[in-house]
Structure 1
Amino acid sequence: MTAVGTVRRRLFGIPSAKAVFSRPGFAPEAWERFAPVACSLMEGYHAALEDPRLSVLAARLEAVEDPLKGFAFEGAGMGLAALDAVTPWRRRLDAFVAGPGAPHIYPVYVGVGLAYARLGRTPESQLARLDPLLGWVTADGYGFHQAFFKRRRHVEQHAVPTRLTAYGRRFFDQGVGRALWFSSGAMVDRVARLIAGFPSDRHADLWSGVGLASAYGGGADEAALRSVLTHAAAYRPQLARGAATAAWGRLKAGNQAAHTDLGCEVFCGRSGSDAAAVVEQAAHDLPVISVEPAYEIWRRRTEDRLMA
């Protein structure tokens, strides 16, 4: 670690992943089931702070075992976005996304959204410098952060973020749904009870986050995933899209996982590779100019094809 990296780690580092999971409202099972996920994300975040040079950072991230590698890249995205905020002329994130982070762009952008939340920036104000299609994913990371670290306001009081557009709030809610899955330790009844407390017009996006988190991060066996499907039967298209998106992201990065295949089999009725292919095909020929965001067209196409 360089001397500058030591200072950055001391200023911006997070002392303990376990302490985060010990916050009020978190289920005891959360740390038991997701400690490797949290530690991998933390490893990526601190790696970026300690030495953001691409060759050094990429080597550290690639050393993480495959099922957890995406979380390490997510942490790196968070760290690089934080560094760019301090020294905006460096644009480390751009170089990372164009280089070693390219196959992992989805989790990297989730991490960028985490950084925006910590920095007090709104994701939509930064869209112009991000990938025109996937930039919206930062609002998911933003929502995850708020539900994870400001739980009372955003989970118990169901606060609506006023600094996001109506469309941005949909991604925010997807991030909240992911946070509910991890903070509840994949305890399905608990997740369902929390979602039921939100206004009904937010349920579809919350459940899409559960589908994404449960397929990408695991934590549940087949019986538990089928229980998710029972609780959220009306939102199966969103669950399926979430799981398929997880499979698509893992396929692009080459870090497939058995629990992602299981999520796709339960929610999509097909293998992870087949579900990922649906997501990829749905992205073909998206309009360059449209009143409706291209990402929304992609999401709706994916749901329609998964349910066909």
Structure 2
Amino acid sequence: MNALRVIRRKIMTPNRSATRMDVRGFHVKSPEARTLLETVGGTFLDGFGIAAQARTPADAEAPLAAIPIRFRGFANEGAAMAFAIRDGMRPGGRNVERYLAGTGADHVYMAYVGVGWAMARLPRICWSRLHAPDPLLRWLVLDGYGFHQAYFRTERYVYDLYEDSSIPWRDGTARDYATRAIDQGIGRALWFIGGTDVEVVAGLVERYPRQRWVDLYSGIGLAATYAGGATEAELTALWEHAKEYRPQLAQGAAFAAGARARANLVCPHNETATRILCGQPVALAQKVTDEAMVDLPGDDQVPAFEVWRQRISDAFARSGHYALTATEQK
């Protein structure tokens, strides 16, 4: 049976070359940035392979815990994708449910994003089998879907500015919000496509209609904080580029802080990013997200997830750290 699981891993796991910057055609800022981003992609596939081969989610816990702290979240994201694909291909599968009840609980944000990757790879007829029960966090599934589409279908989603306006989604009360959640994932992908080069990333954002920038910058703030790859000076330049979207950039950074802190994966680059983009350390940025979650309303035309995000952005906007200078207002 173990031999069969090894074969399953080989069949299911994408080729590692798919994460190479030259294969993807992404911008290379420096050898160091390239190594970082390719390591992120490679570790994602390591996690995917671990879950593809594991007999049960519990069997994946030890090898996932052995991944270095900086990249462990990406391995869990990949693992969630593999478990979700297994569930989607087999009616009645409960791998994601069991994963979230175990080690995945600490990586719940990344897990939901990983389910979104699976959604992008599975036929739509299988989407109803995907496990994403949390009414607040399930929008992260579409974030993961958006990242996948921008990362692998870059020409269409980034350069042709395609917008997924007709995607079927289970939430009937706030269906129109789906495109915004997808844009948040596209924003995260822009950080990778632009090779963590702030000037290139900002240039990619500026190709889109301005009404989409609010969500793109949120995703960029999350990726710049969680994955890293930018110096203090570069992060400051990113903050300056964002201008009136600085609170959304901070909201994304705070999401990353919360995800890292919940899984006990905080690294120095996370602290640097939240200090510059949020004006405070990871612990306080996480506190903002936790306080904004209290007494959220039920989903309506505006889902609770968006109310949560707006509360976080508003909390940062009240700080003078985000005010535009007289020169920037011109």
In the alignment, which residue of structure 2 is the partner of 1:161? 164
Farther off after superposition, 87-96 or 138-147? 87-96
Closer, same or farther in 2 for the Cα pair 1:83/1:248, shift >3 Å? same
State yes or no: 1:88 paired with 2:91.
yes
Amino acid at match of 1:255: L
Per-residue CA deviation, residues 121-164 of structure 1 (Å, 9 max, x unaligned), is 39996788521110100101000000010111111100111333
How much does 1:5 deviate?
1.5
Partner of 1:200 in structure 2? 210
Match of 2:16 in 1: 16
- What residue number does 1:306 align with? 316
Give 1:105's match in structure 2, choosing from 105, 108, 111: 108
Name the SS for the 2:138 alignment partner.
helix
Question: Do 1:174 and 1:208's aligned partners in 2 also have CA atoms closer than 8 Å?
Answer: yes
- 1:241-260 matches, within 5 Å, as 241-260=251-270
> 2:304 matched to 1:294?
yes
The number of aligned residues is: 308
Q: Which amino acid aligns with 2:155?
A: R
Report what 1:27 is aligned to.
27
Which residue does 1:118 correspond to in 2? 121
User: 1:188: how far off?
Assistant: 0.8
Structure 1 residue matching 2:103: 3-state secondary structure? coil
Letter in 2 for 1:192: A
1:215 maps to 2:225: yes
Q: Which runs of 5+ in 1 are unaligned?
A: none
Structure 1 position 6, deviation (Å): 2.0
For the pair 1:58 / 2:61, whether they are aligned, the reply is: yes
Task: State whether residues 45 and 72 of structure 1, in contact with CA within 8 Å, keep that contact through their aligned partners in structure 2.
Answer: yes
* Structure 2 unaligned blocks of 5 or more: 168-174, 319-330
Mapped to 2, the partners of 1:171 and 1:64 lie a distance apart of 29
Normalised by the size of structure 2, how large is the TM-score?
A: 0.88
Structure with higher Rg: it is 2
Structure 2 distance, partners of 1:266, 1:79, is 35
Among 269, 273, 281, the residue aligned to 1:263: 273
TM-superposed CA distance for 1:219, in Å, is: 0.3
Query: Runs in 1 of length 4+ with deviation above 3 angstroms?
Result: 17-20, 120-129, 288-291
Q: Please, what TM-score do these two structures have when normalized by structure 1?
A: 0.94
How far the C-alpha of 1:11 sits from its partner, in A, is 2.0
> After the TM superposition, which residues 172-183 of structure 1 pair with which residues of structure 2 at under 5 Å, given as runs?
172-183=182-193
Corresponding residue number in structure 2 for 1:69: 72
Offset, 1:190: 0.7
CA gap 1:123/1:254 in 2 versus in 1, 3 angstroms = farther
Counterpart code for 1:187? D
Corresponding residue SS for 2:195: coil
Write out per-residue CA displacement over residues 176-229 of structure 1, whole angstroms, 9 at most, x where no aligned residue.
Answer: 111110122101111111111111111111111110000000000110001111
Deviation at 1:24, TM superposition (A): 4.8
The residue number in structure 1 matching 2:234 is: 224
Kindly indicate whether the alpha-carbon contact (under 8 Å) linking 1:124 and 1:168 is maintained by their aligned counterparts in 2.
no
For residues 215 and 123 of structure 1, the distance between their equivalents in structure 2, rounded to whole angstroms, comes to: 33
Of all paired residues, the percent bearing the same amino acid is: 39
Q: Does the 8 Å contact 2:114/2:144 carry over to 1?
A: yes
How far is the alpha carbon of 1:18 from its aligned partner? 5.7
- C-alpha distance in structure 2 between counterparts of 1:69 and 1:237, whole Å: 28
Distance across 1 between alignment mates of 2:309 and 2:13: 35
TM-superposed CA distance for 1:52, in Å, is: 4.3
How many Å separate the matches in 2 of 1:289 and 1:193?
A: 34
**C-alpha distance in 2 between matches for 1:109 and 1:223:** 32
Partner of 2:67, secondary structure, is coil
